[in-house]
């Protein structure tokens, strides 16, 4: 666990009025809108240079610049589509609600708090497994592998009804 200068232990969870809340998301440098602007600037630069060479007689530069811009478009599209991927966990008095968004598709699962068990990140997938009866949900896709054990510890701590800052 990371310790902040004030001595407060860094935690993934945020206590709130509706219970504990975890927001686990990708660490993306650009929003989809910024990604679009970066794509247009990159393509404008590449195509303007290719156009200048085409005007000087190098006819094959422009088709390759268009091919390059198409490949960059696919990469930026994939990046923008997954930039908002996230997992949200909300633990209240009755249940744990797990909501995950991947490529714009949102899925939701509710697990009864009374039956909830947290399996550590030691499984083959490396994710934290939550079990409540026959229901299973794996979380922690967007958390660094080193922090998945911390996530499992915090979930267990919150399920036990302990105060907001777990011990180191």
pLDDT in tens, 76-133: 888 888 888 899 999 988 899 999 998 889 999 999 998 999 987 665 678 999 999 8
Identify the pLDDT of residue 57.
94
CB contact at 8 A, 161 and 168: no
Tell me the domain boundaries of the chain.
Answer: 13-26+84-159, 32-82
Please work out, in degrees rounded to the nearest 5, the angle formed at the alpha carbon of residue 31 by the alpha carbons of 19 and 105: 60
Identify the pLDDT of residue 58.
93
Q: CA 125 → CA 23, 60, 119, 129, 138, distances in Å? A: 20, 47, 12, 10, 9
pLDDT in tens, 21-79: 898 888 878 877 888 899 999 999 999 999 999 999 999 999 999 999 999 999 988 88
Tell me the two tokens of residue 23. 């927001």
- Collapse the DSSP code of 118 into the 3-class scheme (helix H, G, I; strand E, B; otherwise coil) and give the result: strand
Distance, CA of 38 to CA of 61 (rounded, Å): 22
Distance, CA of 83 to CA of 25 (rounded, Å): 9
- Collapse the DSSP code of 41 into the 3-class scheme (helix H, G, I; strand E, B; otherwise coil) and give the result: helix
Strand order through the sheet with 135-139: 116-119, 128-132, 135-139
Distance, CA of 166 to CA of 10 (rounded, Å): 9
């Amino acid at each position: 666990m990371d310790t902040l200068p004030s001595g407060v232990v860094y935690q993934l969870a945020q206590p709130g009025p509706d219970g504990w809340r975890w927001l686990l998301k990708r660490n993306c440098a650009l929003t989809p809108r910024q990604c679009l602007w970066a794509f247009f600037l990159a393509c404008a630069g590449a195509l303007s240079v290719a156009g200048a060479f085409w005007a000087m007689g190098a006819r094959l530069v422009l088709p390759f610049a268009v091919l390059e811009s198409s490949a960059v478009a696919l990469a930026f599209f994939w990046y923008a589509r997954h930039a908002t991927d996230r997992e949200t966990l909300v633990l209240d008095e009755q249940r744990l609600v797990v909501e995950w968004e991947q490529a714009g598709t949102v899925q939701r699962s509710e697990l009864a708090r009374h039956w909830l068990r947290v399996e550590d990140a030691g499984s083959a997938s490396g994710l934290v497994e939550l079990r409540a009866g026959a229901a299973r949900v794996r979380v922690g896709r967007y958390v660094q592998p080193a922090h998945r054990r911390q996530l499992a510890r915090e979930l267990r701590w919150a399920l036990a009804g302990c105060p907001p800052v777990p011990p180191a």
